[in-house]
Amino acid sequence: MSLRVVVLGATGNVGTALLHRLQQARADGEVQSIVGVSREGPEREGAPFEGVEWHRIDVIDPDAGPRLEKVMRGADAVIDLVWVIRPNRDREFLHRVNVEGNRTVFQAVVHAQVPHLVYASSIGAYGKGSKTVPVDESHPTTGTPTSHYGAQKAEVETLLDELEGENPDLLVTRLRPGLIFGAVPSPEIKDYFIGDLVPARLLTWLTGVGRLPVLPFPAGIRFQAVAQPDMAEAYWQVTRQRAGGAFNVAAEPVLDAQTIGQLLGSRRYLELPVAVFKALAAVTYRLRLQPTDPGWVDMAAVVPIMDTTRIRQVTGWAETMSSQQAVRDLLDHFDAPETLGNAEHRSSSPVE
């Protein structure tokens, strides 16, 4: 069957990679048409944006619901990547987009009678859990109360629970990835989380192999990552196979002081209390030196390590790049040219 796929948030990190994968699927005859939806549309030409039917819709506009419904009619699947993480200081705006905006998307999916909704959730939706014993998809999605990202991801998971209960014929899929890294989104990630605190070229140099003889690292922190193209593959496989339910997505190995130290070629690492890193984030955030508020540190400290067995067994998905290589590609490309479709839009966003 050749699918008509609608992608919301199609010019960002995952959206750009997903368009590449859908273009390949179209060349293979598995996708008939690709519909891209974003606030501004792509800001550059060329792959993977050519040949996509584009619609510029802001999900918080008063007429967004009817416009989205019109775009979605006849779609076999809607992949919802709608999310913003800036400006951190405007929590009301973040809630309007991330929670109320996604509510509008879900209602449009129902009204347009789309049979399959694929939603971009996150490890951040999970409540506190073990850093040593991996949890499966049944772990509570209660979020991290002090993190706007975690709290809002959890709130949208509750909306999805209600959506499924009210619409039993709608297939709902939730992907819960770890951190999504790689070369292509590297400048965007630097922009979002480090800002101008450290120049990109200096940051790339500092994180080169062997340049940090001692690696400071938050004690007890262990986290997971996945490469951007592998994440796109996960979205395609659950869409292609109509795989419903929740799926944890992450590559091996789990990342910690030892694995990051190996990656950086650091001869030793110094584990410091998480409170030290939180205090540093709080001070620099308060002084507007960087855009990452301390809630992100809280979330990193409490989210569990995920068991990714389900997506591997149900869909056959497997990473092509280790989590360490995904991080290495991120670090090596902070000063690379922008290749996503939303760079100008980000630069014109409200100042932190």
pLDDT digits (tens, 9 = 90+) for 266-276: 989 899 999 99
What amino acid occupies position 47? A
Q: Which residues contact 331 (CB under 8 A, 6 or more apart)?
A: 186, 203, 204, 207, 208
Calculate mean pLDDT across residues 165-189: 96
Beta strands (DSSP E) in 57-197 are 77-80, 116-120, 171-177, 179-181
Q: Are 245 and 137 in contact (CB under 8 A)?
A: yes
Domains and CATH numbers, the chain: 3-179+227-250+304-319+337-347 (3.40.50.720)
- Judged by DSSP in three states, 201 sits in helix
Residue 351 confidence (pLDDT): 41
**Residue 352: band (very low, low, confident or very high) from pLDDT cuts 50, 70, 90:** low
pLDDT digits (tens, 9 = 90+) for 95-140: 999 999 999 999 999 999 999 999 999 999 999 999 999 999 999 9
Residue 345 confidence (pLDDT): 52
pLDDT digits (tens, 9 = 90+) for 58-98: 999 999 999 999 999 999 999 999 999 988 899 999 999 99
pLDDT at 347 over 80: no
Residue 192 confidence (pLDDT): 87
**Residue 338: band (very low, low, confident or very high) from pLDDT cuts 50, 70, 90:** confident
Nearest one of 23, 11, 18, 13 to 58, comparing CA atoms:
11
For the whole prediction, is pTM greater than 0.85?
A: yes
Six token digits for residue 279 = 């205090």
Kind plus residue range of the DSSP H or E element containing 215: strand 214-218
Cα 93 to Cα 280: distance, rounded to the nearest angstrom: 26
Backbone angles phi, psi at 182, to 5 degrees: 150, 180
pLDDT digits (tens, 9 = 90+) for 27-41: 999 999 999 999 998
Cα 270 to Cα 112: distance, rounded to the nearest angstrom: 54
Q: What is the mean pLDDT of the chain?
A: 94
Six token digits for residue 292 = 């990452």
Calculate mean pLDDT across residues 291-297: 95
Residue 30 confidence (pLDDT): 97
Q: How many CB atoms lie within 10 A of CB 7?
A: 26
Say if residue 165 is exposed, middle or buried (CB neighbours under 10 Å; 0-12, 13-18, 19+). exposed
pLDDT digits (tens, 9 = 90+) for 233-289: 999 999 999 999 999 999 999 999 999 999 999 989 899 999 999 999 999 999 999
